[in-house]
């Protein structure tokens, strides 16, 4: 019978294997090209990178009207909340407040400061809270972090002796809780520790980390440069780096593991590189392509900023994929055969570790004992119905809270306690009600300067849920008017969303009918509701497109309709469970403080769709890696049950390490301050944990046992059309397939 080493040497290199061989042989040129290329991209990023844009409202006619006729109010605004132990109207307090407003009026980009003593309604009913409005002439993206910190310092320095000033607004929130920070470093460190435990080698640990870091650097640079064509919000780099770090380390882990396996079978470094790239490299191509398809699915929503996020994340994953296929084989060339040395750290046998030296001569029964993962699969296969019911029931139980999911953009009530943004919100809520944080701006185009807006103002004020409406302000050219309506409920309250939809779809059309007035509901709160409506309308299309394209890819790669349908259903189950856990923690408050959520809050509007596109791609990583090994064994033996057990045994260690890396990387982002990013990190970590344990270790082997040979069903018309290839790792030639034995295959991934 041919040895396992012989079979490894006879693997067809293919395009990926040939690319790996070329990069191995020209490793110095490849590494230098990567270093120079990444350095050049980073330089271009710092010099010509596009600023972030956070306006999800898209083409808003109301905001356009304000920009045309109220130039001084076209920029961002900040609220200076004031709390005084003495009445705000007392002479002493009035003198202090007036003096405190002077630095704000002189600040860069500030066009006006509206004192509480200049406009009605800016002093609370009981007289101890008030606010001033700081108006900028530029959007928030043009206000630097340094300017925001200087204004916050002014507010702090003026506080004391019974009068306190708190500045609030988007610029302040971003300055206090910026995206990113130290979380990326924590994620890299955690991934390195897991890799060190898995490989037991500093050299083997360093290769995946280095590949991922260079790939992320290139990807983030492209994000900033592509931002001129595809503008993206401020959280795009953090989401892209989160995905890139996870998949980058995982893809390199798959390839390095297969490289070491080939070395252990006696291959030289170049041959082992070709083998690794021809097998695990092809799997990485499929997995990476699936992730890119998932992210590009956001284009279905046809929202400009989400298009930017999709392009940004896809570009980062593409650079990670390119690094895994070119930079990594070049780096493997520098290591030679040193990675074949035994690991100094040994995993327990239940994780696929090997016996310590000196134990080979133990009892024959013990030495012939099957790997724990293979024994686990056999146990599941003996009771497949019970396994399906228990694992499926657990997933459905975890997913149940998702039925009560509420979506909203976070407001300052979700800011960390002790921040100036939260203090501003608390002061205003105490003096003016929680709805003050969710103002609704009504912009109206007037047919003539003498047209009255009284009917419109009265209709809005009479709407249940509106606390008050400010008097209408007419533009200097008499062609437009604006008024502000304050709800009785806060921005994160579902009643506020319903109120916005009611005013927009029924109140304004009825109040302006026959008047010639064209009125629009605008402002950040109304824009967020519009964005939520758009997501709700187009999310089914997003899900459908991503699922169908991913299934088509799997059908082509594995030549099985059953495998594609099963993979899609398994991934949807994992995502549903992640949604449920996220709702229970953030919305219901279960263990919320443990994960750094200051209070119960809705799920951020964009988080569920991001979790879907990211998780659907990431879940396919493990699915493709596992199915590649199962299909390889099935083609060699024709035994479905044995193939599933062998596939699990061969992938248990690497999938365990890959999942552990993903979980620790994503949990590192929970340490950040921004609640939306925390929700993404938590959801991703939960989904990967469930996917790599309950789904891959229980549900997959149980379902594949029940399906039997039907796992590989492919209709004859499709069989004639599809290419005669599939990513079977280590596929032997046809005359050798029947000679392959499961015992010839190593069990460490």
Given this model, what pLDDT does residue 709 score? 85
Is the fold of 58-176 the same as that of 370-397+561-723? no
> 607-637 and 524-558 helices cross at what angle (nearest 10)?
10
- Residue 136 dihedral angles phi and psi, to the nearest 5°: -100, 155
Q: pTM above 0.85?
A: no
Question: Under CATH, which number does the domain 58-176 receive?
Answer: 3.30.70.1320
Predicted pLDDT of residue 210: 87
Give DSSP secondary structure letters for 153-208: HHHHHH-BTTEEEEEESHHHHHHHS-S-STHHHHHHHHHHHHHHHHH--HHHHHHH
Low-confidence ranges of the chain (pLDDT < 70): 1-12, 54-58, 72-74, 141, 178-185, 187, 198-200, 342-371, 724-749
Tell me the CB-side half-sphere exposure of residue 466, using CA atoms within 13 A.
Answer: 21
Alpha-carbon distance 221 to 573, whole Å? 35
Q: State which CATH number among 3.40.190, 3.30.70, 1.10.3470, 3.30.420 fits the domain covering 440-522.
A: 3.30.70
What's residue 507's pLDDT? 94
Top-level CATH class of 1-48+194-345?
A: mainly alpha
Query: Which pLDDT does position 530 carry in this prediction?
Result: 85
What is residue 746's predicted lDDT score, i.e. its pLDDT? 36
Question: In degrees, to the nearest 5, what angle opens at C-alpha 291 toward C-alphas 603 and 718?
Answer: 120
Instruction: Give the contacts of 477 (CB within 8 A, at least 6 positions apart).
Output: 69, 449
> Is 621 in contact with 425 (CB distance < 8 Å)?
no
What radius of gyration do the chain's Cα atoms show? 30
**Residue ranges of domains in the chain:** 1-48+194-345, 58-176, 370-397+561-723, 440-522
What does the pLDDT read at residue 460?
94
| The Cα angle at residue 211 between residues 206 and 213, in degrees rounded to 5 | 95
Alpha carbons within 13 angstroms on the beta-carbon side of residue 702 total: 19
> Are 667 and 681 a contacting pair, CB within 8 Å?
yes
Q: Which two tokens stand for residue 127?
A: 């007289």
CA distances in angstroms from 539 to 185, 305, 430, 543, listed in the order given? 33, 16, 37, 6
SS (H, E, C) 607-644: HHHHHHHHHHHHHHHHHHHHHHHHHHHHHHHCCHHHHH
Give the model's pLDDT for residue 22: 94
370-397+561-723 CATH:
1.20.1640
What is the token pair recorded at 546? 């991503």
pLDDT of 72: 64
Residue 103: how many other CB atoms lie within 10 Å: 17
Contact 134, 77 (CB under 8 A): yes
């Amino acid at each position: 019978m041919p040895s396992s080493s012989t079979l490894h040497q006879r693997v067809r290199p293919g395009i990926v294997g040939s690319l790996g061989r070329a990069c191995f042989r020209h490793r110095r040129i490849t590494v230098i090209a990567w270093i120079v290329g990444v350095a050049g991209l980073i330089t271009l990023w710092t010099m010509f990178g596009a600023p972030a844009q956070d306006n999800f409202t898209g083409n808003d006619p109301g905001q356009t009207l304000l920009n045309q006729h109220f130039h001084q109010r076209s920029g961002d605004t900040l609220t200076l909340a004031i709390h005084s132990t003495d009445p705000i109207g007392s002479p002493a307090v009035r003198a202090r407040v007036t003096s405190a407003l002077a630095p704000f009026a002189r600040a860069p980009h500030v066009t006006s400061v509206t004192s509480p003593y200049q406009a009605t309604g800016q002093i609370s009913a009981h007289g101890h809270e008030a606010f001033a409005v700081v108006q900028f002439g530029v959007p928030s993206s043009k206000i630097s972090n340094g300017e925001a910190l200087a204004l916050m310092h002014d507010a702090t320095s003026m506080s004391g002796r019974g009068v306190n000033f708190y500045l609030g607004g988007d610029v302040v929130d971003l300055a206090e809780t910026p995206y990113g920070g130290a979380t990326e470093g924590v994620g890299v460190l955690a991934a390195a520790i897991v890799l060190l435990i898995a490989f037991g080698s500093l050299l083997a640990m360093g290769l995946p980390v280095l590949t991922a870091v260079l790939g992320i650097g290139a990807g983030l640079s492209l994000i900033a440069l592509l931002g001129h064509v595809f503008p993206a919000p401020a959280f795009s780099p953090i989401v892209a780096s989160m995905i890139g770090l996870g998949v980058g380390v995982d893809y390199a882990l798959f390839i390095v593991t297969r490289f070491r396996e080939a070395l252990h079978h006696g291959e030289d470094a170049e041959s082992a590189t070709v083998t690794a790239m021809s097998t695990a490299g092809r799997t990485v191509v499929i997995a990476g392509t699936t992730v890119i398809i998932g992210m590009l699915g956001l284009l279905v929503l046809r929202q400009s900023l989400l298009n930017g996020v999709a392009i940004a994340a896809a570009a980062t994953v593409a650079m990670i994929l390119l690094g895994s296929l070119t930079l990594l084989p070049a780096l493997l060339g520098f290591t030679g055969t040193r990675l074949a040395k035994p690991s100094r750290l040994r995993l327990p046998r239940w994780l696929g570790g090997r016996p310590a030296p000196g134990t080979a001569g133990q009892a024959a029964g013990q030495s012939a004992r099957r790997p724990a993962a293979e024994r686990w699969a056999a146990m599941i296969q003996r009771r497949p119905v019970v396994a399906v019911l228990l694992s499926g029931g657990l997933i459905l139980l975890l997913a149940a809270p998702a039925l009560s999911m509420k979506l909203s953009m976070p407001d300052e009530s979700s800011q960390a306690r002790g921040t100036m943004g939260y203090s501003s919100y608390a002061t205003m809520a105490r003096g003016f009600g929680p709805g003050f944080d969710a103002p609704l701006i009504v912009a109206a185009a007037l047919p003539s300067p003498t047209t009255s807006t009284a009917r419109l103002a009265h209709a809005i004020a009479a709407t249940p849920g509106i606390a008050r409406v400010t008097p209408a302000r007419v533009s200097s050219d008499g062609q437009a008017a604006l008024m502000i309506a304050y709800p009785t409920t806060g921005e994160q309250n579902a009643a506020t969303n319903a109120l916005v939809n009611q005013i927009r779809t029924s109140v304004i059309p009825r109040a302006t009918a026959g008047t010639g007035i064209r009125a629009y509901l605008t402002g950040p709160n109304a824009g967020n509701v519009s964005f939520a409506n758009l997501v709700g309308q187009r999310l089914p299309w997003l899900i459908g497109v991503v699922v169908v394209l991913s299934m088509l890819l799997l059908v082509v790669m594995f030549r099985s309709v059953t495998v594609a349908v099963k993979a899609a259903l398994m991934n949807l189950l994992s995502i549903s469970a992640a949604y449920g856990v996220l709702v229970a923690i953030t919305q219901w408050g279960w263990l919320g403080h443990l994960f750094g959520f200051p209070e119960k809050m809705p799920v951020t509007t964009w988080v569920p769709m991001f979790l879907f596109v990211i998780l659907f791609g990431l879940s396919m990583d493990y699915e493709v890696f596992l199915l590649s090994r199962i299909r390889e064994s099935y083609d060699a033996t024709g035994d479905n049950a044995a193939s599933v057990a062998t596939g699990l045994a061969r992938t248990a260690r690497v999938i365990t390490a890959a999942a552990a890396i993903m979980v620790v990387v994503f949990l590192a982002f929970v340490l950040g301050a921004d609640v939306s990013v925390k929700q993404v990190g938590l959801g991703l970590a939960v989904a990967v944990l469930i996917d790599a344990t309950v789904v891959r270790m229980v549900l997959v082997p149980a379902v594949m046992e029940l399906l039997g040979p039907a796992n590989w069903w492919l209709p004859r018309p499709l069989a004639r059309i599809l290419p005669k290839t599939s990513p079977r790792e280590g596929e032997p030639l046809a005359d050798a397939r029947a000679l392959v034995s499961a015992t010839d295959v190593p069990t460490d991934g």
